[in-house]
Amino acid sequence: MASFEKYKKDIPLLVEAGLIAIKQGDEDSAKKLFEGVHAIDPANPNVNMGYALIALHKMDLSVAERKFNEVIAKDKTHYQAKAFLSFTYVLSAIEVKDTQKQLSYLKKGADLAEEVINKSDLQSTRELAQSVLDWETQLQEKAQATRAPGF
């Protein structure tokens, strides 16, 4: 197996290119870029983070949830993954029809968002979590007011 050690310094470029590909809706290129990161550094958490963001972009929420949780399992302080997982939970609340499940997802999302706001050092990550928390509050109020399936 070839040594990719000399390419480790290029990982941030590959990750950034993968994120741009996701934003452009180019899943195939994004996957190839994250596979390149994996070939260079199999333990890099940005690989699962990238796949989680691809799934989130496609609204494949169960896959996104699983991948974000894999990142968090390896790094309990990966607040960006926690912020996006909180967003995933809030989106999941909209998809389910059962009010109790909706409220459960909203609570999970709010709890994670609050943790990120209180502990993350990155302003942009805290802002994402605050947006999720604001949205969750609106949905929570709506769900409790209607007490009916769906929003």
For residue range 100-148, what is the model confidence (pLDDT) as tens digits?
Answer: 898 899 999 999 999 999 999 999 999 999 999 999 988 878 767 766 5
Instruction: Return the CATH fold of 10-75.
Output: 1.25.40
Within 10 angstroms of residue 48's Cβ, the number of other Cβ atoms is 22
pLDDT at 3: 76
Within 10 angstroms of residue 137's Cβ, the number of other Cβ atoms is 13
pLDDT at 4: 82
pLDDT tens for 58-103 read: 999 999 999 999 999 999 999 999 999 999 999 999 998 888 898 8
Residues 88, 60 contacting (CB under 8 angstroms): no
Query: Token pair for residue 90?
Result: 């809030």
Three-state DSSP class for 44? Answer: coil
Q: What's the distance, CA 36 to chain centroid? A: 20
Q: In the chain, what are the domain boundaries?
A: 10-75, 77-151
pTM reported for the whole predicted model:
0.86
